[in-house]
Amino acid sequence: MPVRAELDTRLRARDLLELRPGDVLSLGHALRHPVEVRVGDVAKFTGRLTRAETHVAVSVEAAVAPPRDPIEDGSAPPAPVPLRVVPPPVEALEGAA
């Protein structure tokens, strides 16, 4: 299962095309802000950017609470009650005419 930490940043296409080995890319992410670590498509941890030898790494600080299930915790609105419409008997319609 893929594990990833994502940083959201923007870069002009021209700057992207001009990148060369050894260039330093500013990601616009402050070190004091947490990074979300995802396992598959689910957020599992938060952490901080750090270094591990010559690599950028994430130091995991906390587990992310699993998403709430509104049905299990009782916060979901009640399910609508289906209504059944029953037409009146034909005799009732004939007497109204």
**pLDDT confidence of residue 78:** 73
H helices of 1-97, in order, are 13-17, 90-96
How does pLDDT run across 26-54, given as a tens digit for each residue? 777 777 888 889 888 888 999 988 888 88
**pLDDT confidence of residue 96:** 58
Determine the Cα–Cα distance for residues 9 and 16; give it in Å rounded to an integer.
12
User: Domain ranges in the chain?
Assistant: 1-9+29-64
| CB within 8 Å of 49: residues ≥ 6 apart | 29, 31, 35, 56, 57, 58, 59
Triad 54, 56, 60: Cα angle to 5°: 125
Give the global pTM. Answer: 0.51
